[in-house]
Amino acid sequence: MPMDLEIAVIDDDDSFRVALVESLSSLGYQADGYSSAEDYIGRVGGKLFSCVVTDIHMPGMSGLDLMQRLFAEGSTTPVVLITARSDTNLEAKAAAAGAVCLLRKPFEINDLIGCIEGAVSD
């Protein structure tokens, strides 16, 4: 049973982002999609999300850069990083930056739900 959560999904891959937003919505979560970190920053305004799910590698501002910016601005919103790449040290970079999880595409929706619900229940 989903918690009353609002989730921001940020990914430059349109089809992946739409599918992820639809999957989360079908499971009872409130989910909004953004095509880039800049799109998220420009459109969010004062809206608070329960969790941010962002791709790491995007044109412009990366997911890691976005996460660091949010934390520098005082945000305590948990961030889940996702990526299709298999770079070494990515887990260490994500953990050092404060990400609650790093998931590699393709991942199971239940793995993402576990990361999100674990992060917001702490």
Nearest Cα neighbor of 11 from 2, 3, 23, 20 is 20
Evaluate if residue 1 carries a pLDDT over 60.
Answer: no
Q: Mean pLDDT of all residues in the chain? A: 93
Model confidence at 46, pLDDT cuts 50, 70, 90, reads confident
What is the arithmetic mean of pLDDT over 99-110?
A: 95
What are the Cα distances from residue 57, in Å, to 25, 35, 44, 84, 114?
24, 12, 20, 8, 22
Give the end-to-end CA distance of the chain in Å, rounded to a whole number.
17
Q: What percent of the chain has pLDDT over 70?
A: 97
Domains of the chain and CATH, by start:
6-121 (3.40.50.2300)
Residue 29, both tokens: 């979560």
Is pLDDT of 20 > 60? yes
CA 90 to CA 79: how far, in whole Å? 15
Q: What backbone phi and psi angles, to 5 degrees, belong to 41?
A: -60, -40
